[in-house]
Amino acid sequence: MGKSLFTKIFLTQIAGALLVLALIIPAVFMMIGEFFVSNNKEAILQDASRVATLTSQFADISGDEHTWNFFRQGIEFVGGQSTVLVTNFDGAVIAAPENTQGINIDKIDKNFIEVVENGKSVVRLYSKGEIFNQQTLVAIVPIEKYDVISKQSKFLGAAIAIKSMPQIRGIQNRLLRIILLAQIVAWIVAFLVSSVLTSQIIKPIKRMRTAAKSIASGNFKERIPITSSDEVGQLAESFNSMTHSLEELENMRSSFISDVSHELRTPMTTISGFVEGILDGTIPEEKREKYLSTVLEETKRLSRLVNDLLEASRLEQGKISINKEDTDINRIVAEAVFSYEKQLLDKKIDVNLDLAGNECRAMADGDSIKRVMINLIDNAIKFTPECGKISVETKSEGKKVYVSVQNSGDGIEKDDLRHIWERFYKTDKSRSQDKKGVGLGLHIVKTIITQHGGEIFAESEVGEYTKFTFVLEKSV
């Protein structure tokens, strides 16, 4: 069984923290080392300089024991935290503290101090060797006396300030341990905070997993509480939106099955009853032609239903190709309107046909656009009351061609208006005037116009009118 998401995130954070520590600690160690060495260079150079200044003032003293003892005490005081030695011009040590452990004074000679005979001080890091038994930081400052007669500085010797690296490293290591401890404490706090945050991230995801299982079992009422506005909150919102869409789709599917079952059952019951009546003689011979005509109409109704279902499916799957070419939209619109002449006369509907000029040309598939117009006009006739009015208009503006079909009547409620393009959707099922359709016509219309790269929209005023308008690309 694979690791949980919580474990993966948690282990990733731990690995990241350890990697950061592994990279930071050596860098911090080096920086602290350089910092302490640099600071100690300045410190021992100042110590040596102070001793050199003090020594130059004692240069002419006869050198009695009392004076030299006082001088040595002064050197130890002025020398600060460094071990300070004083040599004469030959490099021989003439003054040193009592404790010079780790320094072989006898090996300090003229060669050792000749680097400062030019009057410049130096600071060097000496390795373990004959003079020093461990790595040592050394500052050498020349001791000079200005000769009034010759007007030149006379080299008298050198002041040597010494500090072993273990002393410096000890301070460095103590500071590093403090920093490391602070890092560990900070890491533990971050570790705990990370655990809480990870749990907060994983919690809604676990809820989604549970909800997904519930949805898979058919419960489309499941929703995820949205507790944040970050990516996880947005994911939960999208999940809820998806669930809502699935619920609507399931309701539409159930409604479609119910509608189609009803639409199939009614004509099939009629056909079956009439055919049985003819065969068993219940229907007299002189009335058979009338009932056979009814059977034919119901058969055509079944055929239309099946054709609509197949066409909707083929359009959605892209199996019906759209071949756009230079087409006269006025001709297609006029043909579609005239094909409904009988139905318009039967309902005494006043038709206003307003075409843009002699021709209104657009890039379109003529047969598909004719199907769009037939669906829209058929829809308009169904929902227009007797003695009502239908207006059909084409117009050309800029690079677009606009075609609209408007009918008087009850109109469409706003809540229904946004659903009319969906498959199998029928407004107000209990009182719908569309007794033959199953809610596929407008869905087919929308699909065809979309495949043309055009737009279609509807507007309605309840109790007054409904208007459908689609837009196509004008021919160049």
Please report the DSSP string for 132-191 in residue order: BSS-EEEEEEEEEEEETTTTEEEEEEEEEEEEEHHHHHHHHHHHHHHHHHHHHHHHHHHH
DSSP-derived 3-state class of residue 460: strand
Q: What is the mean pLDDT of residues 152-178?
A: 75
Minimum mean pLDDT range among 137-141, 165-169, 179-183, 466-470: 165-169
Let me know if 248 is exposed, middle or buried by CB neighbors in 10 A (0-12, 13-18, 19+).
middle
What's the CATH number of domain 325-473, 3.30.200.20, 3.30.1540.20, 3.30.565.10, 3.40.50.170?
Answer: 3.30.565.10
Domain regions of the chain by residue span: 5-172, 231-316, 325-473
Q: What is the mean pLDDT of residues 370-396?
A: 92
**Is the pTM value of this prediction over 0.85?**
no
Quote the pLDDT of residue 347: 92
CA 138, 130, 96: angle at the middle one, nearest 5? 50
Q: What is the mean pLDDT of residues 136-143?
A: 88
Quote the pLDDT of residue 1: 42
What are the CA-CA distances from residue 33 to residues 5, 21, 47, 295, 357 (Å)?
A: 42, 18, 21, 103, 91
pLDDT beyond 90 at 469 = yes
Question: pLDDT for 312-346, tens place per residue?
Answer: 666 666 666 778 899 999 999 999 999 989 899 99
Q: What is the mean pLDDT of residues 396-414?
A: 91
pLDDT band of 459, cuts 50, 70, 90: very high
What are the CA-CA distances from residue 177 to residues 23, 189, 313, 351 (Å)?
A: 16, 18, 73, 94
Tokens 């655990």, residue? Answer: 195
pLDDT band of 391, cuts 50, 70, 90: very high
Question: pLDDT for 24-80, tens place per residue?
Answer: 666 666 665 566 667 678 888 888 888 888 777 765 544 555 566 666 666 666 656
d(CA 28, CA 3): 35
pLDDT band of 432, cuts 50, 70, 90: very low
d(CA 123, CA 396): 92
Q: What is the mean pLDDT of residues 461-472?
A: 92
* Same fold flag, 231-316 and 325-473: no
Q: Which of 203, 196, 188, 191 lies closest to 13, judged by CA?
A: 191
What's the CATH number of domain 5-172, 3.40.50.720, 3.30.300.10, 3.60.15.10, 3.30.450.20?
Answer: 3.30.450.20
CA 146, 147, 150: angle at the middle one, nearest 5? 130
pLDDT beyond 90 at 190 = no
d(CA 101, CA 136): 12
Whether 139 contacts 45, CB under 8 Å? yes
Retrieve residue 344's tokens. 């318009």
231-316 has which fold?
Helix Hairpins (1.10.287)
Let me know if 362 is exposed, middle or buried by CB neighbors in 10 A (0-12, 13-18, 19+).
buried
pLDDT beyond 60 at 431 = no
Mean pLDDT of the chain: 79
Q: What is the mean pLDDT of residues 170-181?
A: 69
